[in-house]
């Protein structure tokens, strides 16, 4: 039988290393001890110092290879899904072109602390902004610490969409209220995330006229990429994509009770079924994660999408930042 190959287009290569921020084993960003005056959980100067430490260490860690030493560095700087994404990014680093690496590079400018949580209790959070060197787009990172013994670690990070804006927060000296349960928002964060995730399915679901969110460029790109992937199969296979709400990581209430900035994580599973006897040739990213150089029957790709919403007190939420990371793949 005549065999031929078809190329499996990359689904999540555009931002393969965007959240690879790591630190050395030194403890960076331990919170200030409680004080008698309730205000920001850490002082403005201390917050700036923590942000500078993390971003400086991040610049050094982007070259850290996958393996025990690199994993230890990333574990010191990341937590939760951000750590999963960072470790996967390290495995995919060698597959990036120089142009892709350049697109992910940050400027040397000092990071800007946009918000710190108020009060004396834990967990505590910080919102930090850095900037992509090539595009000039800001990157929003949520740093968290669960207790006084644990340094701040990166829990989520995403590049802002062009023309997106982030509202103002209470001053650092005062501290900003944390998201909490999301009471008082136009849409509960978990409900919003579930609806948004469902809208990313492929084949595309029917549009929801009552969606609690506005259309955005990130969701449009996800759908466009899925359609291109499906078209590329040329009838030899089928693509299905399902996204589900994974976590509301945290966030801050906006000044004057005008809403909140909410960091979330979506888990996407793309499944390709080969309907012919042809061999599918996977991308370098797929091979790096699986070790497979061809696919005969089926391929699955798991992607984590970090999505940041501005959720108003009334009206539709809008996406202001998004970043996706291919974290796992299988094939037969």
| Nearest-angstrom CA–CA distance, 31 and 149 | 8
Task: Give pLDDT, residue 236.
Answer: 79
Give the model's confidence band at 329: pLDDT under 50 very low, under 70 low, under 90 confident, else very high.
Answer: very high
pTM of the model: 0.87
Mean pLDDT of all residues in 111-115: 95
Count the residues in the chain: 332
- Counting Cα atoms < 13 Å in the Cβ hemisphere of 262 gives 30
Sequence ranges of the domains in the chain: 5-331
Given a contact cutoff of 8 angstroms between Cβ atoms, the answer to whether 104 and 176 are in contact is no
Q: Name the band, by pLDDT with cuts 50, 70 and 90, for residue 238.
A: confident
Give the C-alpha separation, 117 to 112, whole Å: 15
Mean pLDDT of the 109-138 span:
94
Per-residue pLDDT at 295: 85
Contact indicator for 260, 252 with CB cutoff of 8 Å = yes
CA dihedral 96, 97, 103, 105 (to 10 degrees): 70
Least confident of 28-32, 137-141, 253-257, 304-308: 28-32
Burial of 137 (0-12, 13-18, 19+ CB in 10 A): middle
Which pLDDT score, from 0 to 100, does residue 161 have?
97
Q: What is the pLDDT of residues 161-206, one digit of tens each?
A: 999 999 999 999 999 999 999 999 999 999 999 999 999 999 988 8
pLDDT exceeds cutoff 80 at 25: no
Report pLDDT digits (tens) over 288-298: 999 998 889 99
Average model confidence (pLDDT) across the chain: 85
- Write out the chain in H/E/C secondary structure: CCCCEEECCCCCCCCCCCCCCCCCCCCCCCCCCCCCCCCECCCHHHHHHHHHHHHHHHHHHCCCCCCHHHHHHHHHHECCHHHHHHHHHHHHHHHCCHHHHHHHCECCCCCEEEEEEECCCCCEEEEEEEEECCCCCEEEEEEEECCCCCCCEEEEEEEECCCCCCCCCCCCCCCECECCCCCCCCCCHHHHHHHHHHHCCECCCCCCCCCCECCCHHHHHHHHHHHHHHHHCCCCEEEEEEEEEEEEEEEEECHHHCEEEEEEEEEEEEEEEECCCCEEECCHHHHHHHCCCCECCEEEEEEEEEEEEEEECCCCEEEEEEEEEEEEEEEC
Residues 65-79 have pLDDT tens digits of 888 888 888 888 889
Span 33-62, pLDDT tens digits? 444 344 777 888 899 999 888 777 777 676
| Region of poorest pLDDT, from 46-50, 256-260, 280-284 | 280-284
CA 289: distance to chain centroid? Answer: 19
Parallel, antiparallel, or unpaired: how do β-strands 138-145 and 153-160 relate? antiparallel
Distance CA 267, CA 255 (A): 30
């Amino acid at each position: 039988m005549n065999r031929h190959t078809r190329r499996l287009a990359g689904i999540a290569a555009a931002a393969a290393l965007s959240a690879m921020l790591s630190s050395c084993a030194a403890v960076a960003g331990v919170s200030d001890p409680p004080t008698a005056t309730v205000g920001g959980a850490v002082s403005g100067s201390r917050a700036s110092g923590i942000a500078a430490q993390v971003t400086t260490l991040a610049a050094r860690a982007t070259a850290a290879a996958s393996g025990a030493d690199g994993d230890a560095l990333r574990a010191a700087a990341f937590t939760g899904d951000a750590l999963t994404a960072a470790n996967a990014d390290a495995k995919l680093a060698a597959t990036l072109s120089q142009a892709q690496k350049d697109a992910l590079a940050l400027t040397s400018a000092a990071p800007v602390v946009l918000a710190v949580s108020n009060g004396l209790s834990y967990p505590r959070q910080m919102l930090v902004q850095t900037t992509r060197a090539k595009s000039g787009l800001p990157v929003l990172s949520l740093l968290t610490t669960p207790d006084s013994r644990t340094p701040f670690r990166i829990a989520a990070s995403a590049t802002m969409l062009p023309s997106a804006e982030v509202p103002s927060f209470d001053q650092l000296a005062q501290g900003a209220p944390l998201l909490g349960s999301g009471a008082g928002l136009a849409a509960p964060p978990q409900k919003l995330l579930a609806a948004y995730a469902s809208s990313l399915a492929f084949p595309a679901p029917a549009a929801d006229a009552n969606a609690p969110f506005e259309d955005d460029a990130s969701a449009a790109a996800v759908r466009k990429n899925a359609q291109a992937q499906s078209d590329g199969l040329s009838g030899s296979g089928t693509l299905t994509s399902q996204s589900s709400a994974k976590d509301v990581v945290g966030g801050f209430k906006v000044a004057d009770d005008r809403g909140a900035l909410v960091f979330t994580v979506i888990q996407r599973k793309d499944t390709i079924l080969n309907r012919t006897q042809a061999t599918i040739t996977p991308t370098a990213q797929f091979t790096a994660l699986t070790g497979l150089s061809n696919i005969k029957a089926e391929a699955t790709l798991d992607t984590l999408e970090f999505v940041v919403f501005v959720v108003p007190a009334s009206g539709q939420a809008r996406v202001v930042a998004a970043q996706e990371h291919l974290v796992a793949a299988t094939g037969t």
